Chains A and B, each alone.
Chain A
Amino acid sequence: MLLGVDLQLLSQYVIAGLMIGVLYALMALGVTFIYSVMKMINWSMGQFYMLGSFIQYLLVVRWLGPDLWFVALPITAACVFVIGAILQLVLIRPMFTGGVERRDEYATVITIALLLLLQSLATVLNGPDEHTPGSHLPNLTVGTLPVSGATLAASLGGIAALILFAVLLRRTWVGLALRAAAQSRIAVQTAGVDLMRLDMIAFGIGVALAAIAGALLAPVYLVYPTNGAVTTTKGFEIIIIGGLGSIPGALVGGLLLGLVEALGSVFIAPAYQNAYGFVLLIALLLIRPTGLFGERLRAA
Chain B
Amino acid sequence: MKATKLFGVAVALLLVGAACTPDKGVGAPSSTNPASSATAAASEPITIGLLTPLSPPGDPAAGQLIQRGAELGVVYVNTVMKGVLNGRQVQLAVEDDAGTPATGATGYRRLVTEKKAVAVTGQFHSSVNIAVNEVANEVGVPVISTQGSAADITAKHYPVAFRTHVIDPFRASSWLSWIQQKGYKKIALIAETSDYGIGLVNETKAQAAAGNMNLTFDIEQFDHASTDLTPQLLKAKAFGPDLVINIGVGAPADLMLDQANTIGLYPAVPMLISYDTPTRAQWFQLHPSDGVGVYFIAYFSPKQELSDAGQWLATAYQAKYNEPPIYGALNAFADVIVIAQAIQKAGNTDAKTLITTLEDPAGYKGWAAVPVTFPKDGAGAFYHTWIPPILILQYTQANQNWRDAKLDASFSKK
Contact among A99, A116, A224, A271 for B17, CB-based, below 8 A: A116
| B6 nearest CB neighbor, chain A only | A94
CA distance A139 to B228 in the complex (A): 17
CA distance A166 to B61 in the complex (A): 41
Contacts of A220 in B (CB 8 A): 258
Contact among A94, A120, A225 for B5, CB-based, below 8 A: A94
Distance between B200 CB and nearest chain A CB, rounded to angstroms:
15
Q: Is A265 an interface residue (CB 8 A)?
A: yes
Contacts of B57 in A (CB 8 A): 226, 229
Q: Is A161 an interface residue (CB 8 A)?
A: no
Q: Is A108 an interface residue (CB 8 A)?
A: no
B1-32 at interface with A (beta carbon < 8 Å): 1-2, 5-6, 9, 12-13, 16-17, 19-20
Q: Is A266 an interface residue (CB 8 A)?
A: yes
| B219 nearest CB neighbor, chain A only | A271
Distance between B20 CB and nearest chain A CB, rounded to angstroms:
4
Contacts of B64 in A (CB 8 A): 127-128
Contact among B17, B231, B264 for A13, CB-based, below 8 A: B231
Q: Is B103 an interface residue (CB 8 A)?
A: no
* Structural contact, A229 and B225, CB atoms closer than 8 A: yes
CA distance A37 to B60 in the complex (A): 38
Binds A, one of B130-138, B165-173, B282-290, B303-311: B282-290
* Structural contact, A6 and B238, CB atoms closer than 8 A: yes
Contacts of B61 in A (CB 8 A): 128-130
Q: Which of A110, A128, A220, A261 has the most chain B CB within a 10 Å cutoff?
A: A128
Knowing A94-B5, A131-B285, A221-B227, the reply to whether A13 touches B56 (Cβ < 8 A) is no
- Mask of B208-234 contacts with A, CB within 8 angstroms, 1/0: 000000000000111101111011101
CA distance A99 to B55 in the complex (A): 38
Contacts of B17 in A (CB 8 A): 116, 120
CA distance A227 to B254 in the complex (A): 13
Knowing A120-B16, A224-B251, the reply to whether A146 touches B262 (Cβ < 8 A) is yes
- Mask of A86-105 contacts with B, CB within 8 angstroms, 1/0: 00000100100011100000
- Mask of B256-268 contacts with A, CB within 8 angstroms, 1/0: 0010001110000
CA distance A132 to B228 in the complex (A): 16
Contacts of A230 in B (CB 8 A): 225, 227
Interface residues on B, range: 35 or more
Contact among B225, B263, B285 for A146, CB-based, below 8 A: B263
Q: Chain B interface mostly helix, strand, loop or mixed?
A: helix
Contacts of B251 in A (CB 8 A): 130, 222, 224, 227
Contact among A6, A16, A121, A229 for B230, CB-based, below 8 A: A16
CA distance A120 to B232 in the complex (A): 32
Contacts of B254 in A (CB 8 A): 130, 222
Q: Chain A interface mostly helix, strand, loop or mixed?
A: helix
B238-277 at interface with A (beta carbon < 8 Å): 238, 251, 254-255, 258, 262-264
* Structural contact, B282 and A129, CB atoms closer than 8 A: yes
| A120 nearest CB neighbor, chain B only | B20
Distance between A230 CB and nearest chain B CB, rounded to angstroms:
5
* Structural contact, B56 and A225, CB atoms closer than 8 A: yes
Distance between B133 CB and nearest chain A CB, rounded to angstroms:
25
Contacts of B255 in A (CB 8 A): 221-222
CA distance A220 to B223 in the complex (A): 18
Q: Which of B13, B227, B238, B263 has the most chain A CB within a 10 Å cutoff?
A: B227
Q: Is A289 an interface residue (CB 8 A)?
A: no
* Structural contact, A146 and B264, CB atoms closer than 8 A: yes
- Mask of A146-190 contacts with B, CB within 8 angstroms, 1/0: 111001000000000000000000000000000000000000000
Knowing A99-B2, A130-B286, A222-B286, the reply to whether A9 touches B235 (Cβ < 8 A) is yes
CA distance A113 to B231 in the complex (A): 35
* Structural contact, B238 and A266, CB atoms closer than 8 A: no
CA distance A270 to B263 in the complex (A): 16
Contacts of B12 in A (CB 8 A): 117
Q: Is B193 an interface residue (CB 8 A)?
A: yes
| B64 nearest CB neighbor, chain A only | A128
Q: Is B390 an interface residue (CB 8 A)?
A: no
| B235 nearest CB neighbor, chain A only | A270
CA distance A269 to B191 in the complex (A): 13
A268-298 at interface with B (beta carbon < 8 Å): 269-271, 273-274
Contacts of B222 in A (CB 8 A): 270-271, 273
Q: Which of B61, B230, B258 has the most chain A CB within a 10 Å cutoff?
A: B230
Knowing A12-B234, A13-B231, the reply to whether A271 touches B56 (Cβ < 8 A) is no
| B54 nearest CB neighbor, chain A only | A128
Contacts of B285 in A (CB 8 A): 131-132
Q: Is A72 an interface residue (CB 8 A)?
A: no
Contacts of B234 in A (CB 8 A): 9, 12-13, 16
Contacts of A147 in B (CB 8 A): 262
Contacts of A148 in B (CB 8 A): 258, 262
CA distance A79 to B193 in the complex (A): 38
| A262 nearest CB neighbor, chain B only | B231
Contacts of B225 in A (CB 8 A): 229-230, 233, 274
Q: Is B63 an interface residue (CB 8 A)?
A: yes
* Structural contact, A265 and B227, CB atoms closer than 8 A: no
Contacts of B60 in A (CB 8 A): 123, 127-128
CA distance A15 to B235 in the complex (A): 15
Query: Which A residues are within 8 Å of any B CB, using their own CB?
Result: 6, 9, 12-13, 16, 20, 91, 94, 98-100, 110, 113, 116-117, 120-121, 123-124, 127-132, 134, 139, 145-148, 151, 220-222, 224-227, 229-230, 233, 261-262, 265-266, 269-271, 273-274
Known: A128-B56, A130-B286. 8 other contacts (CB 8 A): A16-B231, A124-B20, A130-B61, A220-B258, A225-B56, A229-B56, A271-B223, A274-B226
Q: Shortest 9 CB-CB distances between A and B: which pairs?
A: A128-B60, A98-B2, A265-B231, A271-B221, A226-B56, A270-B231, A120-B20, A148-B262, A270-B232
Query: Which B residues are within 8 Å of any A CB, using their own CB?
Result: 1-2, 5-6, 9, 12-13, 16-17, 19-20, 54-57, 59-61, 63-64, 193, 220-223, 225-228, 230-232, 234-235, 238, 251, 254-255, 258, 262-264, 282, 285-286, 288
